[in-house]
Structures are given as C-alpha cells and as structure tokens.
Amino acid sequence: MAASAPRIFVSHLAGTAVFDPNGDQVGRVRDLVAMLRLQGTRMLPDGRTESSSRPPRLLGLVVELSTRRRIFLPMTRVTGIESGQVITTGVVNVQRFEQRPTERLVLGELLDRRVELVETGEQVTVLDISVQQLPARRDWEIDRVFVRKGKAKVGAFRRGKGEALTVEWSAVTGFALEEHGQGAENLLATFEQLRPADLANVLHHLSPKRRAEVAAALDDDRLADVLEELPEDDQIEILGKLQEERAADVLEAMDPDDAADLLGELPEEDKERLLALMRPGDAADVRRLMAYEERTAGGLMTTEPVVLRPDATVADALARVRNADLSPALAAQVYVCRPPDETPTGKFLGTVHFQRLLRYPPYTLVSALIDEDRLSLTPDTPLPAVAGFFATYDMVAAPVVDESGSLLGAVTVDDVLDHMLPQDWREGEFAPGGRLGALNGVSDGR
C-alpha cells in the first residue's frame, strides 16, 4: 500500500461486514487486537514511571461468525478495508479466539481510558483510535489517538464537554497502566445499534472489570434486555456488582420469568433482600413464578401477555401488539379473558392471532374472533411435553391456564428453546461441518 494509505478510525470498523474474495460474508468485526511494544521507561508528571512504547502493532481483527463464535483474523489475511467492508484472502481459522496476556482489545480496553498528554501532564479521555497500514508492508499500526480534555464522566452514557483533538500515539501516556473506574461511554456509542443479544455477546467476551464498567453505563431497560441474553454466570456476576437499589430496578425491567430464573440462582438471603427492594407488584409476579418448578410451563411462562376483555375491538388489539417492547412471540396473539385483566385473570376465553386481527374491520369485537380450539397448557406441564405441544400445533406462544380456568401467563417458543438447549449453547456451534469445519486447523499467524 502506498505511503498515503488512508487513516481508519476503529469506531468505524465496529460491526463492519467481513467478506471473502467471492463476496460471501464471513462475519462481522467485533474488536481489534493490538500488542503494546515496550522499549524502556519514562517518568510521568506525577512521579510514576511507565514503560515507553512505539506505536502498537495491530495484530488482527476479532470477527464474529454467523454462529456467534468469535475468531481471530490476522491482518496478513486482510486484503482491503474500504466502503464499510473488510475483504479477506478467503482462508480463515475458525478456532475460537482467546486473548493472550500481551494483547489488548482496542475497542474493549483502550477506548474511554484516562491517559495523559506527555507535554503537559493533562488528563484526557480516549474517544477513538486510528490505525494505518505501513508503506510497502502488510503490517498495521495504531498511529493516532482522538481524545477529549476535561474531567471524565465515569458510568454515565453521555457525551463529555471539553476540547477534542487528535494526537500522535507518542504524545500520550498511560495505556500500559492499570486503570480503575474506566468509563464506557465511547465503547457503548460504538455498539449502540447492536441488538441486545449481540451486545450481550460483546459483554461476555470482555474482562470482568470492563464488563462491570459497561453494565454500569447502560440504562436499566437496556441492561435488563442484555442480561436476559447472557449466560447465567455473567448475569450473577454483573448483578452482584450493581448497587442493590439499582439491581432491584434492573430486575423490575426484566421479563418476570427471566428475573425469576436469575433470582433463583442467588443465595436465599440475597434473593429476599432484592425482592424486598422491588416494587410490590413486580415482586409478587416474580415470587409467583418462583413457586413453580423451573422446567414446567409455570416456570417457563411470563406473567405479562397481552390480555384483553371480550368487549375490546380489533383496533384495541392491534394497538396493544404494536408495542415495540413486546417480543415477536408475545405480540403474535392476544388473550381474551373476563376481568380482572392482570394475571391471574378471570375466566380465560381464548386467543386471537394477529393475522386474524388483520383480516377484520377495526370495530370488530375480539370475542367474535376467538380461536375455537382454545389450546392451553397447565402450569405443571413438564418441559418435554411443552416442547411437543409447540411442535404439534406450530405455535410461537401458548396460554397457561389453571384448574379454575384463569389465565396465569404465556409460554413463548424462545423460552422453551432456552431451557432445552445446553447451558453453554451461546458458546456452541450450530452450523453443520461443511465449509467452516473444513477450515479448522489453519494457523492464525500469531
């Protein structure tokens, strides 16, 4: 590449699609791997010493495949970065990426750091980092740092104020020092468009320290959505590092069934303390779910399906299922019941699928459109029978009804899958062998 190679800021690479030479997508960029290169020491303005360094070498990219496995793509395998895409040689190693002690994740560890300007000793916050390919070589280096002057706002997802400037790597110091209370503003800005499941995958691969900092910077609703997608160990770890009042707020924002599953893994004393801090209505829903065996319809269900009275209209129903906070499975149908409207309801009358709602005038009463089959589960139905029920009747959600005919909640197909897959399914591979399997064993070049 010529000496005038373009400078690329790493925030622009986050989430970028990676393609092979045939135009087939390999995955998406989730981070960059760099190695700090040490050579001697220098005195910092406050009297501490730090190893001085040449610009870090960019080793490669962390690429997330469609299977959610993260692999290492060496920069020597990158043939082009242009027009919002990365092109590779087409030969990749699908061995799971494992960070080595000498390596740093650029997005996960270097953004939001507090470093110092060498000349003045003034503290600045890292907003972005640029990389550039060296002339006539395939090596890449971090060359510049985009920073903002002023006091950091740790744990707050908001833009700081102060002069922003781009400086050479050699003009700042502090990257090799351990930092406590590192913010997460710019890392989150980089990934703000990710869906909760994808952001959860990002958090899962961060260090525990960085994971706690990012979780602290998320608002309650966003953190609740992300927690629902994380493995159990990560959920417990993150919840344990939050202040108890905030942990209770996040549990309130979670779906009741997910909150019940998480609380069920905590020691009894911690569980009761958090439940006492939650709003009484939310705590009551969670306690009710925790009374059922985990692998039953009662343990799987959510207590917040879309419930309508028989005199509600199609227009009322469509307005309810349009709620963006509803999962697709919960928005797929409404549950018609006698008052009261909160679960456990009055007598359950039946369901109406949203496709049926679309076929009738807005003024039509939902009671006239109820599915005649009135299929339902009992709260003690075991998980295998629940799965068979969904498969037999091609359902995405099913009502759970007690002996008195009251609606207790609804089980959704995603909850069934979550409980039937192995606990480490997020780390597993679901694509059959074929092309990806045949690429195993290729050296990663590190």
Task: Supply the range of the domain harboring residue 104.
Answer: 8-152+164-173
- Would residue 25 count as lying in a domain? yes
* Strand (E) or helix (H) holding 168: strand 164-168
The CA-based angle 414-238-302, given to 5 degrees, is 30
- Residue 374, pLDDT score: 83
- Residue 5, pLDDT score: 64
- Residue 402, pLDDT score: 95
* Strand (E) or helix (H) holding 148: strand 140-149
Cα–Cα dist 145/171, whole Å: 9
Q: What is the mean pLDDT of each run of 10 residues along the chain (446 residues)?
A: 68 92 91 76 56 77 89 90 85 84 88 89 92 80 90 48 86 77 74 85 87 89 93 93 94 93 93 95 93 92 95 96 90 96 94 95 96 90 95 94 96 89 61 38 49
Are 311 and 299 in contact, with CB atoms under 8 Å apart? no
Cα–Cα dist 316/355, whole Å: 15
- Would residue 410 count as lying in a domain? yes
- Would residue 74 count as lying in a domain? yes
Are 263 and 274 in contact, with CB atoms under 8 Å apart? yes
Domain of 355: which CATH number? 3.10.580.10
- β-strand pairing of 172-173 with 307-308: unpaired
- Would residue 316 count as lying in a domain? yes
Alpha helices of 119-264 — where are they, by DSSP H?
185-190, 196-204, 208-217, 220-227, 232-241, 244-253, 256-263
Q: Which residue's entry shows tokens 């007690």?
A: 402
- Residue 253, pLDDT score: 93
- Residue 161, pLDDT score: 63
- Residue 436, pLDDT score: 38
- Residue 195, pLDDT score: 87
The count of structural domains within the chain is: 2
Cα–Cα dist 264/370, whole Å: 36
- Residue 178, pLDDT score: 64
pTM for the full predicted model: 0.67
- Would residue 404 count as lying in a domain? yes
Are 174 and 41 in contact, with CB atoms under 8 Å apart? no
- Would residue 293 count as lying in a domain? no
Determine how many CB atoms are found less than 10 A away from the CB of residue 57. 17
- Would residue 263 count as lying in a domain? no
Determine how many CB atoms are found less than 10 A away from the CB of residue 28. 20
- Would residue 441 count as lying in a domain? no
